[in-house]
Amino acid sequence: DGGITQSPKYLFRKEGQNVTLSCEQNLNHDAMYWYRQDPGQGLRLIYYSQIVNDFQKGDIAEGYSVSREKKESFPLTVTSAQKNPTAFYLCASSITSGRDEQFFGPGTRLTVL
């Protein structure tokens, strides 16, 4: 089955710790995205990547980092510099760019204790 997988589904971390969220796709898409969703709000773009070894900041990149070493994988690290990391994180991919339909993963709910 083609699609996007994110792991884990629920993640708890202590304040001051870095944590990495996984995102893998087997759709052969060039572009991948990370979004953050807070209660009652829409999705906000954290980072996106159009090709391997290249990525760009979105609207709320501070406190986050990414890598794109493989086409299939786009992990997101939430660093201790992110002041309010508790949120629902969604990964997505599209064939090329933002004008294409984006396919979303099931999401990771991160809670900072």
Partner 1 sequence: AQKVTQAQTEISVVEKEDVTLDCVYETRDTTYYLFWYKQPPSGELVFLIRRNSFDEQNEISGRYSWNFQKSTSSFNFTITASQVVDSAVYFCALSGLGTGANNLFFGTGTRLTVIP
At 80, the amino acid letter reads S
Binding-residue pattern over the window 29 to 58 for partner 1, x denoting contact by CB under 8 A: --x-x------xxxxxx--x-x-----x-x
The span from the CA of 111 to the CA of 17, in Å, is 12
CA distance 49 to 53: 8
Rg of the chain in Å (alpha carbons): 13
- Report in angstroms how near the CB of residue 72 gets to partner 1 at its nearest: 19
Near partner 1 in 81-110, by CB under 8 A: 88, 90, 92, 97-99, 101-107, 109
Using left for φ > 0, alpha for ψ between -120 and 50, and beta otherwise, residue 65 falls in: beta
At 90 the three-state DSSP class reads strand
Binding to partner 1 in span 6-25, by CB under 8 A: none
**Between 18 and 52, CB nearer to partner 1:** 52
61 counts as binding partner 1 under rule CB under 8 A: no
Smallest gap from Cβ 45 to partner 1, in A, equals 5
C-beta of residue 50 within 8 angstroms of C-beta of residue 30: yes
Interacting residues with partner 1 (CB under 8 A): 31, 33, 40-45, 48, 50, 56, 58-59, 88, 90, 92, 97-99, 101-107, 109
